Each structure stands twice: as structure tokens, then as C-alpha cells.
């Protein structure tokens, strides 16, 4: 009721100001809670830490040699040479490399966990082509041992997405890669939600086999357009409700629709699109679809053919999340080229991302990016480690709407940091220490910092 009072005052004021003889008594305003499962994440115990004498890839395209990184209160405090910090824990990283924490924009950890038993197969609500109402966070099993393995590979932030069977698969959630026995304990505070969409073969195969729309690619497009048309009406109804209420009327709130809440969130700019979309012609259409319904078409995932539309992606501000070399498992994955990421990256204002979609390769995104760098350099590109690292750090953060929080080593940003035993783009590279918000969450040489999931505890 407390919240009600100010709006009554507002209503009274607006009546007085407009001179409108509005005598209607207003019911309590219906407001949709946009964050009903809030993050309870807190940084692990942390100390002021100074890492000395490393080769630092900042994630902003810069490389610094013999540099020091100072982490204070969970933030990057300073990067430079010969830093001094009284009382700080000092780590000698001579000969080692430092990068921002690695970010995977496409993971199914927790929703398709290990062991992959029926009881845990919770990643894809394959019961309707539009399941915008489901949220991946409600499926996450935080005891998936894959989180630990990914942490040992330097992953500090990851987006968990629903699967790709549906045109609209539901909401994705971004997590901090810290151990917790609840989903909320891992949830990245205030990260925007993602909406998983899927182009191409998967939706038309899954629903085509059931003789319902979509069974074709034009059916896919029709399915998206019908849904966005509904969402547009839904948004309009809520806006009318808000406007009328604001005007002192006592309108009836539109009927709550959990599915359309998500789509409206996209139209409102609160939720980011993450679109499983392999092919050039489909990405071009999805960009236009966004324009048709006035939302941004976001990041294209598994964008095997992104190199064919690299200019279009950059012009429209789309990120493309790609593998270095997966191909051939489906027709839409047939035109893979090793240099895909590099070709996309070469365009001005581009946003090239390397992603995993795998509980195995998420442990080696550094190697995945490395493969692209070396193959591209064999074929005329001049990609440096300081550039390649952005594909799995800063650009990934941009894709997730977190560029101001993480993804680069800059003063004031979250102290998400990985210390590598050597150049991270070597097959022999290993993450030695991993920090999330300035707190050590993994140490290769100290069991104290090697978490173990409940599932593996006590097994023999």
C-alpha cells in the first residue's frame, strides 16, 4: 500500500493540473516484477592482490609486458609497471600471462549437466515452437561438475541458454562461475536476460515431424512474425494501461501472459536476443525481422556463415558468436571456414565472439580462439594475441550487455582475472589461478581453491 500512496498523489496532482474532472478511484497499480528470482551472489572472501611482472592482455586490444595488476575491493585498481601496494597479497607472475576472465556466451552447463542422465535433461522445453515463457535459470543444477572444469579453464562468466528446438526457446541467464548450491547464488547481478531464438533446421525438423508449424524455413519466419505481432499488441496494451493510469484513470490491467512478458522485455530493450542462426541468408532476414518489429536482433550464435555477411553484421551492430572449426554435422554447418571469426572481426565496429556450446571446449576457449588466430595468420591476416583475446572477453561481454562490468582489465571494472602459465594461445597453456570479483576461485596448485561438486563427493 505504501507504493500505492505516491501514485495516488501523482494522480491527484495530474487531475489538479489538467483540470480534468477525474473522480474515479484508482485500484493499486499492477506492476510486473522484472526480477522475481534475484541474484544472491556475493564475491568469495577476497584480499587486495597485486600480480607482478606478467604479460598482460587487457582485453581492450593492448598488450603490456612486465606489467603488474592490482585488485582492490573486487575491482581492477591499477595496471602498470612497478606497482606497489602495501599489505597486498603479492603473486609473482614472471613468465606468466594475464587475461581478463574468460566469458562464454553460449553454454548449457547446469541445464544439460554431467552426468547426462534423463533426470537432468532440462535444457530444451520441446513442447511448443514458442516457449518464451520458460527460463533456463529454472533448470540449472548448480552441482554440474562442468562448472568446476570450466573454472579450471579460466571461465569466470557464462550465459546458460535453453536449447534450439524452438523458434523461441526461452530466457537465458548469465552466471558468475562460482560454486553455489543455488542458481541465485551464481546469478550475475543485474545482467540482462537473453532470449534464445533459433533459425533453420532445428525448429523445422522438430515441429515438422509433428506436422505443426514450422516445417519449413518460411514457417520459421511466419512463427517469429506472428509472435512479435502478438508481443507488439501486448506491449501496446500495457503501455496504454500505464498511460491511462498515469492520467488518473482506473484502467483494467491487461491479462498477464508470462510468454509475452519475455517478448515484451525484448521490445522494451531489457532483454537481449541470442539467436542460434548458422546461415548468411537467415541472419540477413533476422536483422530485418528486428527492424520490422522494432527490436535489435542481437547476437547470432553458431554463425557458421557470418563471414559471408560480415559487413551487414557490423553495420547493424550484431555480434556473431562462432566456433573455430566445428562443421558438417548438419547442412547448415557445411560452409565452415577456419577464418570465420577473423573475417567478421576485420570489419570496423564488428563484434566477433568465440563461443563453446560444449561442456568440453568451454574449458579451452583460449585454444579455440588461438586456432582461429593461427589459421587466419597463415592466410593473410595479422592477428595478435591482444586482439584474439577480445573474442572471448570484451566482445563476449558486449554480447551479454556486460561491457561496463567485465571482459577487460580496466580501472574500476570487476576484477575477473586469469593467470596463465604461458601464452594462453598455446596448446600447452593452463590457467593457474582464476579470480572472480577479485576473489580467488581456482588455483591449479592449491587444493583449497579446487571446488568439488556434491555429485562427485564420496564417489569411488
Residue 78, SS3?
Answer: strand
Q: How far is CA 345 from CA 103, 315, 322, in A?
A: 17, 13, 11
Whether the Cβ atoms of residue 291 and residue 317 lie closer than 8 Å to each other = no
Least distance to other proteins, CB of residue 74, Å: 30
Q: List binders of other proteins among 114-143 (CB under 8 A).
A: 114-117
Residue of 195, 214, 346 lying closest to 265 (CA atoms): 195
- Say how far apart CA 356 and CA 336 lie, in whole Å: 15
* Using rule CB under 8 A, residue 327 touches other proteins: yes
* Using rule CB under 8 A, residue 160 touches other proteins: no
CB-nearer residue toward other proteins: 223 or 424: 424
Residue 431, SS3?
Answer: strand
Rounded to the nearest 10°, the torsion over CA 229, 234, 238, 239 is 0
User: Burial letters for 371-383: b for 16+ Cβ neighbours within 10 Å, e otherwise?
Assistant: bbbbbbeeeebeb
User: Which segment (81-89, 165-173, 327-335, 400-408) binds other proteins by CB under 8 A?
Assistant: 327-335
* Using rule CB under 8 A, residue 459 touches other proteins: yes
CB-nearer residue toward other proteins: 137 or 339: 339
Least distance to other proteins, CB of residue 338, Å: 6
DSSP alpha helix (H) spans, 279-400: 280-292, 310-315, 340-345, 365-378, 385-388, 394-399
* Using rule CB under 8 A, residue 112 touches other proteins: no
Least distance to other proteins, CB of residue 203, Å: 14
* Using rule CB under 8 A, residue 455 touches other proteins: yes
* Using rule CB under 8 A, residue 63 touches other proteins: no
Instruction: State the number of CA atoms in the 13 A half-sphere of 322 facing the CB.
Output: 33
* Using rule CB under 8 A, residue 458 touches other proteins: no
Least distance to other proteins, CB of residue 375, Å: 8
Site map for other proteins, 378-417, x if CB under 8 A?
A: xxx-------------------------------------
Q: How far is CA 183 from CA 130, 136, 141, in A?
A: 24, 10, 7
* Using rule CB under 8 A, residue 456 touches other proteins: yes
Instruction: State the number of CA atoms in the 13 A half-sphere of 46 facing the CB.
Output: 24
Bridge-based pairing state of the strands 352-354 and 417-420: unpaired
Among 330, 443, 444, 451, binds other proteins (CB under 8 A): 330
Least distance to other proteins, CB of residue 68, Å: 27
Q: List binders of other proteins among 336-365 (CB under 8 A).
A: 336-339, 343, 359-360, 363-364
Q: How many residues bind other proteins (CB under 8 A)?
A: 44
Residue of 213, 215, 220 lying closest to 199 (CA atoms): 220
* Using rule CB under 8 A, residue 425 touches other proteins: yes
Length of the chain in terms of residues written: 460
CB-nearer residue toward other proteins: 241 or 374: 374
Q: List binders of other proteins among 280-299 (CB under 8 A).
A: none
* Using rule CB under 8 A, residue 146 touches other proteins: yes
* Using rule CB under 8 A, residue 307 touches other proteins: yes
Whether the Cβ atoms of residue 366 and residue 102 lie closer than 8 Å to each other = yes
* Using rule CB under 8 A, residue 106 touches other proteins: no
CB-nearer residue toward other proteins: 327 or 449: 327
Element (H, E) at 241: helix 217-246
* Using rule CB under 8 A, residue 75 touches other proteins: no
* Residues making contact with other proteins (CB under 8 A): 114-117, 145-146, 149, 201, 307-308, 325-331, 334-339, 343, 359-360, 363-364, 367, 370-371, 374, 378-380, 425-430, 455-456, 459
Amino acid at each position: 500500500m505504501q507504493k500505492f500512496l505516491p501514485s495516488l498523489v501523482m494522480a491527484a496532482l495530474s487531475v489538479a493540473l489538467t483540470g480534468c474532472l477525474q473522480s474515479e478511484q484508482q485500484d493499486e497499480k499492477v506492476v510486473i516484477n522484472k526480477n522475481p528470482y534475484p541474484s544472491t551472489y556475493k564475491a568469495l572472501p577476497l584480499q587486495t592482490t597485486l600480480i607482478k611482472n606478467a604479460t598482460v592482455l587487457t582485453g581492450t586490444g593492448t598488450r603490456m609486458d612486465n606489467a603488474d595488476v592490482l585488485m582492490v575491493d573486487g575491482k581492477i585498481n591499477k595496471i602498470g609497471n612497478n606497482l606497489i601496494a602495501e599489505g597486498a597479497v603479492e603473486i609473482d607472475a614472471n613468465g606468466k600471462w594475464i587475461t581478463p576472465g574468460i566469458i562464454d556466451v553460449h553454454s548449457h552447463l547446469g541445464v544439460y549437466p554431467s552426468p547426462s542422465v534423463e533426470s537432468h535433461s532440462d535444457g530444451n522445453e520441446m513442447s511448443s515452437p514458442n516457449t518464451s515463457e520458460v527460463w533456463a535459470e529454472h533448470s540449472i543444477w548448480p552441482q554440474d561438475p562442468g562448472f568446476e572444469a570450466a573454472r579450471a579453464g579460466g571461465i569466470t562468466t557464462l550465459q546458460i541458454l535453453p536449447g534450439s528446438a524452438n523458434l523461441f526457446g526461452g530466457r537465458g541467464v548469465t552466471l558468475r562461475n562460482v560454486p553455489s548450491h543455488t542458481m541465485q547464488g551464481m546469478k550475475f547481478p543485474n545482467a540482462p536476460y537473453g532470449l534464445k531464438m533459433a533459425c533453420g533446421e532445428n525448429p523445422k525438423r522438430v515441429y515438422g515431424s509433428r506436422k505443426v508449424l514450422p516445417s519449413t524455413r518460411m514457417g520459421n519466419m511466419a512463427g517469429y512474425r506472428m509472435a512479435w505481432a502478438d508481443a507488439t499488441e501486448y506491449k501496446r496494451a500495457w503501455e496504454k494501461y500505464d498511460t491511462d493510469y498515469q492520467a488518473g484513470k482506473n484502467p483494467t490491467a491487461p491479462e498477464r501472459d508470462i510468454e509475452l512478458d519475455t517478448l515484451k522485455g525484448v521490445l522494451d530493450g531489457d532483454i537481449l536476443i541470442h539467436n542460434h542462426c548458422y546461415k548468411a541468408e537467415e541472419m540477413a532476414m533476422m536483422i530485418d525481422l528486428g527492424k520490422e518489429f522494432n527490436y535489435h536482433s542481437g547476437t547470432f550464435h553458431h554463425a557458421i556463415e557470418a563471414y559471408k555477411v560480415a559487413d551487414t553484421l557490423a553495420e547493424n551492430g550484431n555480434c556473431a558468436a562462432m566456433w573455430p572449426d566445428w562443421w558438417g554435422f548438419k547442412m547448415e554447418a557445411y560452409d565452415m571456414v577456419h577464418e570465420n571469426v577473423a573475417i567478421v572481426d576485420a570489419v570496423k565496429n564488428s563484434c566477433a565472439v568465440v563461443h563453446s556450446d560444449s561442456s568440453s571446449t568451454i574449458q579451452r576457449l583460449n585454444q579455440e580462439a588461438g586456432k582461429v588466430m593461427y589459421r587466419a595468420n597463415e592466410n593473410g591476416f595479422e592477428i595478435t594475441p591482444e586482439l584474439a583475446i577480445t573474442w572471448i572477453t570484451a566482445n563476449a561481454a558486449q554480447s551479454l550487455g556486460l561491457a561496463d562490468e567485465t571482459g577487460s582489465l580496466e580501472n574500476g571494472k570487476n576484477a575477473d582475472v586469469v593467470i596463465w602459465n604461458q601464452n594462453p594461445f598455446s596448446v600447452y597453456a593452463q590457467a593457474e589461478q582464476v579470480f572472480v570479483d577479485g576473489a580467488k576461485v581456482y588455483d591449479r596448485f592449491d587444493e583449497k581453491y579446487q571446488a568439488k561438486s556434491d555429485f562427485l563427493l564420496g564417489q569411488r
